[in-house]
């Protein structure tokens, strides 16, 4: 039996408990203490990151909704807005990967339709330990199954994503899910409660004990060897229940029935109600005896902090309750009036006629203790070198095969073939066909298309937090540029270790500075996001992993190029300000090294390069555009050959590189391969012709020669072989 004080068991410090007593003017009762513990947790309050996040630019000409709402939204013209957000479900997925990942998708879908947008796409960013680990294979396999189960069942396509494998994620995997939605600008809704006397209505699934303590126990603390004991705190998802809830909410919004709408995520009723009250500067009364329960005998505090899935909270005028109930009945969605809007400025919880909790809304949401980070640049190495898998002097032929067969570079078909990427009939480019997914808008009264991408590389951020974060933004923007899209807005999920440790605080601070500077240089506002801290286990912290999701617009989806070589005779060229280096590269990892720095990035030059690439793609005529990323130029060429099942003859001597390993496998921002008719390629500013498409071999003059079929076998078979 624990001997800790109750507030300490709930993750509160002694000083925080004293602050609660001061704000209440008395000792909290059990329910109030439970609610405060969640609302003051890192996951809900952002108490170690909120001050830092204020540095990010949040304004731009396309921004319709910025940080603070359930999801951000940008204007895409024709009266339409695109809503999007990325969030983490890391610790739940490390404990129960199928339900952890599935409910991560369910939660991010609710964030998007909570502002009135219909979800049209999901992307995911995943991190696991190396695939030679049984645990990592299990987590990867079942997380992918969970994502596929929820997205496929509810009918929202999973159109993109990324998966990387590193030793630091062995005990603490990362499952970040991004949702994109579409709405008419005049049909969006915010979450601020208003109108004294208006009713508070809970819609959706019954409330059970699943998820109790999830936000505080799992997402705001380090995982330990006993993490399996936390399995009951992982929520259970039901995508079919959410599909009904989604359609019901969108119909209610279309009819103008609702005053405000909020999803129930972390901390359940506690956070959704108090945040709605805070935004509307009102109070709320809730009667937990009116909450439909899945389990008998639930205590009032359990009802308030349950994180049961597929629930939404709305505010309506009393005269429209019968209309709401009729629509909910038609969609087979449970709906119960559980409270009302007041002018008390308090969140008051009743159990029938008994008042069981009375808390100032400001104390729960606005007057949360915020901490100043104490960053300190480490003097020694934070992470061990990865295990060596090839010798430093290995010939380039062996290095290419090793890279194509490595888990980070190899095809992720194993994952994306489990996802329906075309349901909804708006997907122009699937995950395997282009660097960014492309979704058409024509069927919704719009014109053109949007492109979406999600990126991040924790190992490079571990090597240099500032530059690695800059590169994450540039990589995402470059993926959009490869399909001709101009960025409109950015969302992020900051996955880091314990911010109370000076070296983690330094990583977080430098990474946010990198995100800020890159966004300012590219003119891309941050419209929302999520922070996931305390990603640590017994072996230490994960690599610092800022994940960036970006949405852009393009005028003509019909001319979007693919990443594959498509036609013999096309000319191949390298474009962009690309200066490769082995620091932080996949080749360096295979050689058993982790750098402690990355080459600096000239953001002005990179911004110019992205604009030039985007205009080149929009100019038409390019059949192939593929960015150079993990594995460098050689791997990018191999991927384009394998995807198109056609060879290429290339000469790298025009690049003037003195070290063939750097020329072939060096990495860094800015580079893209293009292919098309000579007349098109030759007019591109700064393009360096490298060769031609054709044959059935990838030949790089004087360096290597491989049959495309052999490359395909290595590239496409590596991850399935890990499960053989």
Catalytic center residues = 43, 89
Q: Which helix (H) or strand (E) holds 84?
A: strand 80-88
* d(C-alpha 567, C-alpha 715), whole Å: 21
Alpha helices in 523-659, H assignment, sequence order:
586-590, 603-618, 632-644
Do 722 and 134 touch, CB atoms closer than 8 A?
no
Beta bridge partners of 349: 286, 357
Rounded to 5°, angle at Cα 203 from 199 and 208: 120
Cα angle: 16, vertex 18, 20; to 5 degrees: 70
The tokens describing 625, both together, are 């555009």
Instruction: Tell me the sheet residues that pair with 165.
Output: 128
DSSP letters of 155-210? T--EEEEEEEE-GGGSSS-EEEEEEEEEEEGGG-------STT-EEEEEESPB-ST
d(CA 361, CA 346): 5
CA atoms within 13 A on the CB side of 552: 31
Strand-strand pairing, 260-263 and 174-184: unpaired
3 state DSSP class of 248: helix
* Of 402, 417, 268, nearest in space to 347 by CA: 268
SS3 for 303-368 is HHHCCCCCEEEEEECHHHHHHHHHHHHHCCCCEEEEEEEECCCEEEEEECCEEEEEEEHHHHHHCC
63-65: strand order across its sheet: 63-65, 72-77, 80-88, 174-184, 118-128, 158-165
Strand, helix or coil at 133?
coil
Q: What is the largest distance, in Å, between two alpha-carbon atoms of the chain?
A: 85
Residues in the chain: 724
Beta carbons within 10 angstroms of residue 185's beta carbon: 15
Whole-Å CA distances, 37 to 234, 262, 277: 18, 21, 18
Distance between first and last Cα of the chain: 44
321 in Cβ contact with 200 (< 8 Å) = no
Q: How far is CA 387 from CA 267, 291, 383, 409, 543, in A?
A: 40, 53, 12, 17, 16
CA 290 to CA 304: how far, in whole Å? 12
């Amino acid at each position: 039996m624990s001997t800790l004080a109750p507030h300490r068991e709930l993750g509160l410090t002694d000083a925080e408990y004293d602050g609660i007593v001061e704000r209440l003017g008395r000792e909290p009762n059990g329910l109030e203490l439970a609610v405060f513990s969640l609302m003051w947790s890192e996951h809900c309050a952002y108490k170690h990151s909120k001050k830092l996040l204020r540095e990010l630019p949040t304004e731009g000409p396309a921004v319709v909704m910025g940080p603070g709402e359930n999801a951000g939204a940008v204007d895409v013209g024709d009266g339409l807005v695109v809503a999007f957000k990325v969030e983490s479900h890391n610790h739940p997925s490390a404990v129960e990967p199928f339900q952890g990942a599935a409910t991560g998708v369910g939660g991010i879908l609710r964030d998007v339709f909570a502002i009135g947008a219909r979800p049209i796409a999901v992307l995911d960013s995943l991190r696991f330990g190396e695939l030679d680990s049984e645990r990592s294979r299990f987590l990867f396999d079942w997380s992918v199954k969970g994502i596929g189960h929820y997205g496929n069942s509810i009918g929202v396509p999973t159109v993109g994503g990324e998966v990387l494998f590193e030793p630091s994620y062995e005990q603490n995997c990362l499952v970040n899910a991004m949702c994109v939605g579409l709405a008419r600008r005049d049909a969006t809704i915010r979450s601020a409660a208003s109108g004294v006397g208006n009713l508070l209505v809970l819609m959706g699934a019954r409330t059970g004990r699943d998820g109790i303590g999830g936000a505080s126990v799992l997402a705001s603390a380090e995982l330990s060897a006993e993490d399996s004991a936390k399995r009951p705190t992982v929520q259970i998802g039901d995508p079919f229940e959410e599909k009904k809830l989604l359609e019901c909410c969108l119909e209610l919004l279309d009819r103008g029935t609702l005053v405000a709408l909020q999803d129930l995520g972390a901390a359940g009723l506690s956070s959704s109600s108090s945040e709605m009250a805070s935004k509307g500067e009102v109070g709320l009364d809730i009667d937990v005896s009116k909450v439909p329960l899945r389990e008998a005998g639930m205590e009032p505090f359990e009802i308030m902090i349950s994180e049961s899935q597929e629930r939404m909270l709305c505010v309506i005028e009393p005269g429209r309750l019968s209309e709401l109930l009729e629509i909910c009945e038609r969609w087979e969605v449970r709906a119960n009036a559980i409270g009302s809007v007041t002018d008390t400025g308090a969140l008051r919880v009743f159990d029938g006629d008994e008042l069981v909790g009375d808390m100032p809304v400001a104390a729960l949401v606005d007057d949360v203790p915020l901490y100043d980070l104490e960053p300190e640049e480490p003097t020694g190495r934070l992470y061990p070198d990865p295990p060596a898998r090839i010798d430093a002097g290995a010939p380039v032929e062996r290095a290419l095969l090793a890279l194509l067969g490595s888990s980070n570079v190899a095809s992720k078909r194993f994952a994306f073939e489990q996802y329906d990427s075309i349901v909804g009939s708006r997907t122009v480019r699937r995950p395997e066909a282009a660097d960014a997914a492309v979704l058409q808008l024509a069927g919704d009264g719009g014109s053109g298309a949007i492109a979406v991408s999600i990126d991040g590389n924790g190992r490079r951020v571990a090597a240099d937090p500032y530059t690695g974060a800059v590169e994450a933004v540039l990589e995402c923007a470059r993926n959009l540029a490869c399909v001709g899209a101009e960025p409109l807005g950015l969302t992020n999920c900051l996955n880091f270790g314990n911010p109370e440790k000076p070296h983690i605080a330094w990583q977080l601070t430098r990474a946010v500075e990198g995100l800020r500077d890159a966004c300012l240089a590219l003119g891309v506002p941050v419209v929302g996001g999520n922070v996931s801290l305390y990603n640590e286990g017994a072996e230490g912290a994960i690599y610092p992993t800022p994940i960036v999701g970006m949405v852009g617009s393009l005028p003509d989806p019909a001319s979007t190029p693919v990443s594959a070589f498509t036609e013999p005779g096309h000319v191949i060229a390298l474009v962009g300000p690309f200066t490769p280096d082995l620091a932080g590269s996949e080749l360096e990892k295979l050689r058993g090294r982790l750098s402690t720095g990355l080459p600096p990035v000239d953001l002005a030059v990179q911004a110019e390069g992205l604009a030039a690439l985007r205009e080149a793609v929009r100019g038409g005529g390019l059949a192939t555009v593929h960015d150079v990323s993990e594995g460098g130029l050689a791997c990018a060429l191999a991927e384009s050959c394998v995807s198109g099942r056609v060879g290429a003859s290339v000469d790298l001597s025009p690049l003037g590189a003195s070290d063939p390993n750097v020329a072939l496998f060096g990495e860094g921002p800015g580079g893209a391969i293009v292919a098309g008719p000579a007349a098109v390629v030759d007019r591109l500013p700064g393009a360096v012709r490298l060769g031609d498409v054709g044959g059935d071999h990838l030949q790089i003059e004087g360096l290597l020669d491989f049959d495309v079929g052999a490359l395909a076998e290595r590239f496409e078979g590596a991850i399935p072989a890990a499960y053989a």
